[in-house]
């Protein structure tokens, strides 16, 4: 009987040791990959030269600013004011706003404003959804260079001038540009701002090492000619959002030149979600489209970030089996916090983000379960955007 009991104890101990070895191996694999990836992106960020507007053009380019909108009445007047203040020739500019079946009075207000702005054009979307509105706007645009943004964004006076200078000097097919987020209210607003900063650093850093993986439709420029050559090959048509990242992947697949414009003058700024629910729904929508990625770098980056954060959020539950699991989890968590902090610090001044150490540590504790929840939610629930649901 003793032998039998001893055999069971030995067998259980052996199984536990094997389990600990596998957990340790998987932790080292994930954290090692995560640190390597973020270090590489940090190198890419540092490799990018910061560009300042010269206020002179080495040529001429006609720009079409294309803005799909739905129920943005409260933002449209300020948007028009921001565009009217651009230090860019209005004779080489048109602004095409495409109404995606708004139910407010936004279009009527635009009709009134149109009398003051000769460069403003208004289109009524024939399809449904942002992607259809954007396609119609690009089709209607007459400019050589399309600059896409959102109706709730705002920008500085040198935005279009900086874009035009970069385009004429480097002749890219696509320009990925920075998007900053305002702080918003309280802890939630600050968390979103830091989360968005991390996303922007990945965006810029990946482009800096010549493997762009994501871009934001809130601030994206591209040749209309290149778009027309690519538009029928853009993946992700089943998703409500993703017009930006899927277009980027299609451009990459065609071998087009894609650059990142590291310039505070070319930055647009947006606002955080006002509630936790809206914030999570937004992130679920963003995460959900990753299932449709065709670009291997984008898929690998999204998967590694999701797995690393999910693993770190679930690993503490193994401590219910044995407290020694903390000897694996704690070093892994600290390593992740350190590399995250280094990446955030590298970009916080450029993006004008306040990131105090105490608050950052609080964010670091919440970040892994937040990524897990948002990731699972994007799989389990249909995406939603402005009272519409995806397939």
Mean of all residue pLDDT scores within the chain: 89
Range of the domain at 85: 63-274
CA distances from 113 to 81, 85, 96, 116 (A): 10, 15, 13, 6
What proportion of the chain, given as a percentage, has pLDDT over 70? Answer: 94
The 10s digit of each residue's pLDDT in 318-328 is 877 778 889 89
Q: Is residue 259 part of a domain?
A: yes
Q: Is residue 207 part of a domain?
A: yes
Q: What is the pLDDT of residue 237?
A: 72
The 10s digit of each residue's pLDDT in 80-89 is 999 999 999 9
> Number of structural domains, the chain?
1
Q: Is 145 in contact with 224 (CB distance < 8 Å)?
A: yes
Can you give the pTM of this predicted structure?
Answer: 0.90
CATH of the domain at 260: 3.90.550.10
Q: Is residue 361 part of a domain?
A: no
Name all contacts of 134-138 with Cβ < 8 Å and 24+ positions apart: 134/66, 134/68, 134/98, 134/217, 134/243, 135/231, 136/98, 137/66, 137/67, 137/68, 137/96, 137/97, 137/98, 138/64, 138/66, 138/224, 138/227
Q: What is the pLDDT of residue 2?
A: 46
The 10s digit of each residue's pLDDT in 29-51 is 999 999 999 999 999 999 999 99
Q: Is residue 136 part of a domain?
A: yes
Q: Is residue 343 part of a domain?
A: no
| Structure confidence at residue 348 as a pLDDT band (50, 70, 90) | very high
| 62 three-state secondary structure | coil
| Structure confidence at residue 391 as a pLDDT band (50, 70, 90) | low
DSSP per-residue codes, 221-236:
EEEHHHHHHHGGG---
Q: Is residue 16 part of a domain?
A: no
Q: Is residue 217 part of a domain?
A: yes
Q: Is residue 92 part of a domain?
A: yes
């Amino acid at each position: 009987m003793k032998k039998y009991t001893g055999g069971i104890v030995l067998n259980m101990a052996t199984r536990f040791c094997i389990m600990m070895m596998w957990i340790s191996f998987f932790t080292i694999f994930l954290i090692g990959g995560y640190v390597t990836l973020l270090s590489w992106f940090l190198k890419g960020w540092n490799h990018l030269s910061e560009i300042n507007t010269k206020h002179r053009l080495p040529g001429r380019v006609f720009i079409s600013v294309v803005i799909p909108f739905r129920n943005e009445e409260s933002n449209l007047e300020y948007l028009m004011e921001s565009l009217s203040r651009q230090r860019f020739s209005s004779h080489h500019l048109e602004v095409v706003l495409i109404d995606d079946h708004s139910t407010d009075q936004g279009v009527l207000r635009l009709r009134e404003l149109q009398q003051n702005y000769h460069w403003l054009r208004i289109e009524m979307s024939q399809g449904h959804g942002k992607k259809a509105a954007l396609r119609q706007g690009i089709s209607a645009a007459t400019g050589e260079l399309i600059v896409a943004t959102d109706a709730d964004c705002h920008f500085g006076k040198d935005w279009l001038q900086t874009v035009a200078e970069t385009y004429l000097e480097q002749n890219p097919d696509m320009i990925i540009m920075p998007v900053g987020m305002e702080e918003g209210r309280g802890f939630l607003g600050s968390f979103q701002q830091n989360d968005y900063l991390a996303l922007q650093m990945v965006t810029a850093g990946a482009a800096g090492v010549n493997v762009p993986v994501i871009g934001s439709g809130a601030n994206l420029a591209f040749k209309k000619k290149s778009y027309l050559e690519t538009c029928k090959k853009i993946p992700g048509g089943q998703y409500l959002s993703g017009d930006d990242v899927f277009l980027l992947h299609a451009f990459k697949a065609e071998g087009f030149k894609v650059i990142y414009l590291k310039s505070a003058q070319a930055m647009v700024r947006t606002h955080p979600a006002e509630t936790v629910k809206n914030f999570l729904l937004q992130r679920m929508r963003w995460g959900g489209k990753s299932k449709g990625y065709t670009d291997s770098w984008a898929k690998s980056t999204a998967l590694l970030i999701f797995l690393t954060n999910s693993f770190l959020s679930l690993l503490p539950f193994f401590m219910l089996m044995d407290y020694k699991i903390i000897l694996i989890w704690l070093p892994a968590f600290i390593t992740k916090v350190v590399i995250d902090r280094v990446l955030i610090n590298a970009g916080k001044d450029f993006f004008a983000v306040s990131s105090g150490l105490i608050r950052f540590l609080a964010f670091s504790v919440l970040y892994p379960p937040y990524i897990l929840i948002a990731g699972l939610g994007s799989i389990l629930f249909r995406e939603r955007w402005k009272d519409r649901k995806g397939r």
